[in-house]
Amino acid sequence: MFQRLSTDTFNWILIVGVILFVIEVAFFHGGMIVSALFSAAFVYVGWKNFSQLWGKVLFWLGVIGLIFAILNMLAVRFLILAAIVLFLINYSKSKQEAQRLQPKLPRDDVVSTDPIIQLKPLFDHKVFGDQHTSEMSYQWRDINIHGAFGDRIIDLSNTVLPNDTVVISVRHMVGNIIIYVPYEVEINVHHSSVFGRAHILGEDHLKLMNQSLLYQTEKYDTTLSRVKIVTSLLSGDIEVKRI
């Protein structure tokens, strides 16, 4: 279905969804958005205390409340309706259009491309729970992840970094990000946060309110062994320190 969807159609659906979201915020005093935020807070607190009975109860109450709050939003209802209509339209077209298959014969003049190898990333995208690098030695891979709840701990002391620029990109909603970097490696940190605190190489920011921070070590531009860190948080703390 999404392969048949044109970019213009998708853009119009997205624009109408954003308009409905703004209308719900402006004219319905936030609508179900406030309920969704409260439910998300219950989910986070319950997950942090999931080992206890009240934490389990709070977590599942938050999950149920979050699902109902999201489904009751005007924008979400519109997107569900649009998805159903597009599915029916595309299903009808697929029945009317005959699929024509043409065999592709090998050509001698086609230049073969270089073979590629699929590698396993260090982190997978995870909505709930904490993640951290292995405590044993591991092979380095650039990190590019996003998540919702939990902490992300990245320790670069247990790997051998290449003599090049390595990248760590983390986009997260609620939780803390901790990154340990060896002393011989130069660092560039670009962090943005809506709420939280930052402790970056001895520089402390105890109250971040919709701010961005940019730091780098003195020899970052002239040294090849370096780490570029790009992080964003809705609510949480970041700590980057030497180890």
152: β partners: 131, 177
Q: Write out the DSSP string of 115-152.
A: P------S---BSSS-EE--SS------EEEEEEES-E
> Given pLDDT bands bounded at 50, 70 and 90, which one contains residue 78?
confident
Q: Write out the DSSP string of 61-103.
A: HHHHHHHHHHHTSHHHHHHHHHHHHHHHHHHHHHHHSPP---P
Distances (CA, A) of 161 to 1, 116, 158: 42, 22, 10
Task: Convert the pLDDT of each residue in 129-174 to its tens digit.
Answer: 778 888 888 888 899 988 888 889 999 988 888 888 999 999 988 8
- Of residues 127 and 74, which shows the higher confidence score? 74
Does residue 224 have a pLDDT over 60? Answer: yes
Q: What is the pLDDT of residue 4?
A: 55
Window from 48-52, 61-65, 114-118, 170-174 with minimum mean pLDDT: 114-118
- Residue appearing with tokens 């159609």: 9
171: β partners: 146, 232
Estimate to the nearest angstrom the gap between the alpha carbon of 26 and the chain centroid.
Answer: 27
Q: What is the pLDDT of residue 192?
A: 94
Q: Are 214 and 187 in contact (CB under 8 A)?
A: no
What average pLDDT does the segment 195-214 reach? Answer: 90
Q: What is the pLDDT of residue 112?
A: 54
What average pLDDT does the segment 205-229 reach? Answer: 90
What residues contact 236, with CB distance under 8 A and at least 6 apart?
172, 174, 175, 176, 177, 193, 195, 196
Does residue 24 have a pLDDT over 80? Answer: no
Does residue 108 have a pLDDT over 70? Answer: no
Question: Counting every residue, how long is the chain?
Answer: 243
CB atoms within 10 A of CB 226: 21
Does residue 187 have a pLDDT over 90? Answer: yes
**Averaged pLDDT score across all residues of the chain:** 82
Interhelix angle 74-96/7-27, nearest 10 degrees = 160
- pTM here is 0.58
Does residue 101 have a pLDDT over 60? Answer: no
Q: What is the pLDDT of residue 109?
A: 55
What average pLDDT does the segment 178-206 reach? Answer: 92
| Sign (positive or negative) of CA dihedral 58, 60, 62, 64 | negative
Window from 9-18, 70-79, 192-201 with minimum mean pLDDT: 9-18
What is the rounded CA–CA span in Å between residue 89 and residue 79?
15
Q: What is the pLDDT of residue 155?
A: 92
